[in-house]
Structure 1
Amino acid sequence: MKNCFNMTGMLFLHTLRRDWLKLLIWAVALSLFTGGFASAMYEIYGKDPAGLMAMYETLKNPAMIAMLGPTSATAETYTVGAMYAHEMILFTALVFAIVSIMHVVSRTRKEEDDGTTELIRSFQVGRLANTTAVVIEMLLLHLVIIALSTGLLQVQDVPGMDFSSNLLYSASLGMQGFLWAMIALIFVQLAAGAGSARGLSFLTLGFFYILRMATDMNAPDGSWFNPLGWSYLVNVYVSDSWLPIVIAFVTSIVFIAVSYLLEQARDLGAGYLPERAGHAHAKERLLSLPGLVLRLQKIFIIGWLFALFICGAMYGSIFGDMDYFVSENEIMKQMFLHNSDYTIQEQFMSVLFVILSLLTTIFIVGSLMRLVNEEKKGHWDQLYATKLSRTKFYWYHVIMASILGVVGQFSAILGLYLAQRSVMETPLSFWEITKAGIVWIPAIFFFIGILSVLIGWLPRFTMIIWAYLLFTFFISYFGQMMEIPEFVTNLDVFSYIPKIPIEEWKWGAIILIKLLALFIIVIGFIGYKKRDLVSE
């Protein structure tokens, strides 16, 4: 058994040397996401007890419990810290889980599929050495995140958020990241390849998220059997229980042991789950480029359309509580109430579609990014060698992304319409909501243009699009409250879109954005047609 771990230390140092920059960026980003908004939350709610109670009542809405999880706080114990954890902890746990799953699968099964693991094992390296190195790396990463996020919460010095509670909050999220890394490690052994391992891990994550919706509402004790439930069952800033942390840690150790047993018993490159037998002949639609690309993105597209519909429905479900929620909170009035001629719901909807449109943008950026990602992996090489032209590759992906942008936005619109119709005595009409949603489509197309230029001229730097997307979210959502200079705001394409219905249509700006998006898409095409192929 000792030989199974031979050279673990060397592999760990090698892995750390290779991943240190990525891990550092993740540690800083996740720490900022975990604890960076506490002081802002206190400024909004800490000095406004009425607003805090309005938030408490709003988050007791069944739809909000289904989305964010429950809280053990009462009206008397619902502090800014309790609200911060209530709003943040579950969604942040999902982010930690996603990052951990992607990294573990990439550093284990994907390298096995690529032949890297076979090369390493040709030396005097133990069968479990690489897996152990990844386990140590993930443990170290989450310990660093716990330390950074706890320190970040401490320096903000928010009343009621003391060191022990801040440490518990950070530890809960760090433990979630490590736990889901070990869950992914199990699927790495079971699945037949990296894609299957990743898919099974995300499917399990989604299953437990949906399962906790039912248990949180109907059988709260059942959430103790849900790995995601251990994130918010710590009841941080209320009663501070470390028991879920202990359960998650012990479960992680068990998963490590199980994954070791599974890896020892299987052949390199093999899995325990049987592979589905493929068709003897390709279906006719796979013989065309559109059919092939749609097949490759089928799960991605269906998942995102469903997610956008659910997000629209979640937001629409709180329309019935908006009058009380906003009227009692001065900060919320500053964010949402600008024109007395319109209802709170109409004005809230104008801000809400900024968020939904950004989610749609993430969807279509992810879809179009596949054009260059598949190229970097060499998956297009055999197709490039055929009579298929780059023109078809480029324009099909761009057109598909554009269509998906429209369909995705309408999915969110439909979810919002159906949900608000079920909770409001006088619901908004479908046409009113549709107008408020479709006006953002030109800005969504603008992101297609920016990514097209990057794909055509700077294919190795396409990740820049995510930085601009994050900038757009920050300016669009917080710009008005933080009084950001106008020249900075003008860099945000979303700032030129009228907030329907409280603002008039700006046909000139909308048409100009559409034309500019088309122009830079063409510029991107020129670069894509001329440049050399790139690889990882």
Structure 2
Amino acid sequence: MRTTPATSSVTGVGHLLRLILRRDRVRLPLWLVGLGGSIVASALAVPPLYDTPEKVAGYARTVGASPVSYLMSGRQVGLDTLGGIVANEISQVAQLGVCLMVVFLVVRHTRAEEESGRAELLRSTVLGRHAATLAGLVYGVTAALLLGAITSISMLAAGLPAGGSLTYGVGLALLGVAYTAITLVAVQISTSARGALGLAGAAVAVGYLVRGIGAMQDNALVWLSPFGWAQGMNAFGDERWWPALILLVFTALLLWLAARLMAHRDFGGGLIATRPGPARAGRLLDTPFGLATRLQRGLLVGWAVGLFLLGVLYGAVIPTVPDLIESNPEMADVVGASGQAAEDALVDAFLGYIYLFMAVIACGFVVASVLRLRAEEEAGRAEVVLATPVSRTSWMAATTTLALVAAVALTVLMGLGLAVGYGIGSGEWDQVLTQVAGQLAYLPGTLVVGALAAALYGLLPRGTGIAWAAVALIALQVVLGQLLGLPDAVQAISPFWHLAAVPVDDFEIVPYATLVLIAGALVAAGLWGYRRRDAVAG
């Protein structure tokens, strides 16, 4: 009698990878274009700002001695060279970006698949137990390597030394690979995609802060973080490759741990069991708004803490702005000021740039919050809610209202964070109302972006990715619009372009009110469309 050989634990990896690439044929390019485009644009835009030895020396003297710079970007070597300056300027976006990219991509194709039940259907075919994990690993590693290659190529295109460009790109890729392994461990621990994202996101935050605190104190704490190991390769300085071995060994140990954990857990389960809920629901869950709040409380808390701390960091930088621009007057062009402007005018220009930048970051929250509707719909949970007396209008309106109200609250928190950071940096604590009011001046732009996501969900549910593309384009316009000299017709696409540049310009009520009305019209259009389309759109 002929027997069929036992299925290997990794059987079907190739088929899964092709399926993953088919499903992410838009998502992966968006990540690479968004992050890679920002890195390329920054790498090409920074060198013209530091085209003389005096400007390079001024950067090294100011930024290179700033504790806030250490916290945010670590101790980048070679700040007295153009390569070191470029590496320092792109490090925040590149390092945090590659980590967050692999976290979201890997969780999407591992734990989220188990949670939705799709992985169980695939397992009913000829598919090995570890195939999904290995496919997620290969996918995350590939994405990290691609971003590392884009970064190295952009540095070479900017005319930077080949050795430093290669070292920085490899370090960035290995950092992404390490957090791919961390994410796979988180996937084995949590029973939900949100839990896995929370654990892996916390690991990113801890690693980033440990490196930053160690850099501020100039001690060995930096060597307890993967961020510190990647930066320890000393790109554009005395390049060294042994920290790459630490990253590889760390990654290998985590992959071994992930494999062991998966072998000892139930399929669909995790090491941390889900706690049973209370026998009776609280009053908060009696309303659609209460349910939306309960579903998004983790998202709300995480963004609130993150944006407040970001405000504190930027607020602490404000007192150093005059010295930085004095050493390099062309930096004033980035924040829309004149290098010969008075000190107060320079600070105001910088504040306006920070207000705008943080408002754009808040757009990420409001889009994620509104598009939770789409996630609930795809998972089939929205149908369960709508089978009760809850109407479509109230269901969508509750989540959209929560997102927009939370955007207002987060805007206030960002202003408070700026005031606290400014107080820490300058010793002046009378800026609370000023900073909160300044940040609120940019709120309508954030509301319009969130309302756009609501309109897309109601009218064109398969096109909700356009909302994320809008956030990426607006961010690129804010960061590089001045340097690239984009025409007004292009910059006008951003709702923020129509607002007064507070505090440089006087506040104007007409564009403020107009954008609020546009946001209301977009939400109304989304509600109208949702009432008329299929409850579950393909």
TM over 0.5: yes
> Which position in structure 1 is the counterpart of 2:223?
224
> Which position in structure 2 is the counterpart of 1:39?
44
Distance 1:475 1:23 in 2: 21
Structure 2 CA distance for partners of 1:521 and 1:143, relative to 1, 3 Å: closer
Q: Note the 1:451-530 alignment, pairs <5 A.
A: 451-530=453-532
Q: Give TM-score, length-normalised by structure 1.
A: 0.91
Structure 2 CA distance for partners of 1:336 and 1:388, relative to 1, 3 Å: same
Among 143, 146, 159, which residue is 2:145 paired with? 143
Q: Note the 1:393-412 alignment, pairs <5 A.
A: 393-412=395-414
Among 127, 130, 138, which residue is 2:129 paired with? 127
Structure 2 CA distance for partners of 1:145 and 1:295, relative to 1, 3 Å: same
Structure 2 CA distance for partners of 1:201 and 1:333, relative to 1, 3 Å: closer
Q: 2:34·2:472 contact (CA, 8 Å) conserved in 1? A: no
Q: 1:90·1:232 contact (CA, 8 Å) conserved in 2? A: no
> Which position in structure 2 is the counterpart of 1:82?
84
- SS of residue paired to 2:112: helix
Structure 2 CA distance for partners of 1:202 and 1:525, relative to 1, 3 Å: same
Q: Give the superposition deviation at 1:411.
A: 0.6
> Which position in structure 1 is the counterpart of 2:9?
4
Structure 2 CA distance for partners of 1:121 and 1:442, relative to 1, 3 Å: closer
Deviations 1:209-242 (A, max 9, x none): 2333332333621221222222211111111121
Distance 1:450 1:15 in 2: 28
Distance 1:22 1:517 in 2: 26
* Counterpart amino acid of residue 187 in structure 2: V
Structure 2 CA distance for partners of 1:20 and 1:244, relative to 1, 3 Å: farther
Structure 2 CA distance for partners of 1:43 and 1:266, relative to 1, 3 Å: same
Q: Give the superposition deviation at 1:354.
A: 0.8
Distance 1:477 1:144 in 2: 23
Distance 1:13 1:360 in 2: 34
> Which position in structure 1 is the counterpart of 2:164?
165
CA RMSD of aligned residues (A): 2.5
* Counterpart amino acid of residue 39 in structure 1: L
> Which position in structure 2 is the counterpart of 1:337?
337
Structure 2 CA distance for partners of 1:499 and 1:55, relative to 1, 3 Å: farther
Distance 1:205 1:19 in 2: 23
Q: Give TM-score, length-normalised by structure 2.
A: 0.91
* Counterpart amino acid of residue 58 in structure 1: V
Q: 1:208·1:226 contact (CA, 8 Å) conserved in 2? A: yes
Please, which moves more after superposition, 62-71 or 236-245? 62-71
* Counterpart amino acid of residue 243 in structure 2: P
Q: 2:230·2:247 contact (CA, 8 Å) conserved in 1? A: no
Structure 2 CA distance for partners of 1:475 and 1:72, relative to 1, 3 Å: closer
Distance 2:344 2:49 in 1: 24
Please, which moves more after superposition, 205-214 or 372-381? 205-214
> Which position in structure 2 is the counterpart of 1:64?
69
Deviations 1:302-339 (A, max 9, x none): 11111111111111101221221112222123334356
* Counterpart amino acid of residue 300 in structure 1: L
- SS of residue paired to 2:226: coil
Distance 2:168 2:393 in 1: 51
* Counterpart amino acid of residue 492 in structure 1: S
Gaps of 5+ in 1: none
Q: 1:138·1:178 contact (CA, 8 Å) conserved in 2? A: yes
Q: 2:102·2:176 contact (CA, 8 Å) conserved in 1? A: yes
Q: Note the 1:94-133 alignment, pairs <5 A.
A: 94-133=96-135
> Which position in structure 2 is the counterpart of 1:442?
444
Q: Give the superposition deviation at 1:489.
A: 2.5
Q: Give the superposition deviation at 1:426.
A: 5.8
> Which position in structure 1 is the counterpart of 2:205?
206
> Which position in structure 2 is the counterpart of 1:316?
315
Q: 1:336·1:347 contact (CA, 8 Å) conserved in 2? A: yes
Gaps of 5+ in 2: 1-5
Q: 1:436·1:499 contact (CA, 8 Å) conserved in 2? A: no
Distance 1:119 1:195 in 2: 21
Please, which moves more after superposition, 193-202 or 304-313? 193-202
Q: 2:77·2:236 contact (CA, 8 Å) conserved in 1? A: no
* Counterpart amino acid of residue 421 in structure 1: G
Q: Does 1:370 align with 2:372?
A: yes
* Counterpart amino acid of residue 496 in structure 1: H
Structure 2 CA distance for partners of 1:61 and 1:297, relative to 1, 3 Å: same
Q: 2:95·2:172 contact (CA, 8 Å) conserved in 1? A: yes
Distance 1:341 1:261 in 2: 59
Q: 1:68·1:91 contact (CA, 8 Å) conserved in 2? A: no
* Counterpart amino acid of residue 333 in structure 1: A
Distance 1:15 1:469 in 2: 24
- SS of residue paired to 1:371: helix
Structure 2 CA distance for partners of 1:233 and 1:382, relative to 1, 3 Å: same
> Which position in structure 2 is the counterpart of 1:241?
240
Q: 2:207·2:227 contact (CA, 8 Å) conserved in 1? A: yes
State the percentage of identical aligned residues: 25
Q: Give the superposition deviation at 1:181.
A: 0.9
Q: 2:13·2:134 contact (CA, 8 Å) conserved in 1? A: yes
Distance 2:428 2:138 in 1: 57
Q: Give the superposition deviation at 1:341.
A: 9.2
Distance 1:353 1:499 in 2: 9
Q: What is the total number of aligned residue pairs between the two structures? A: 530
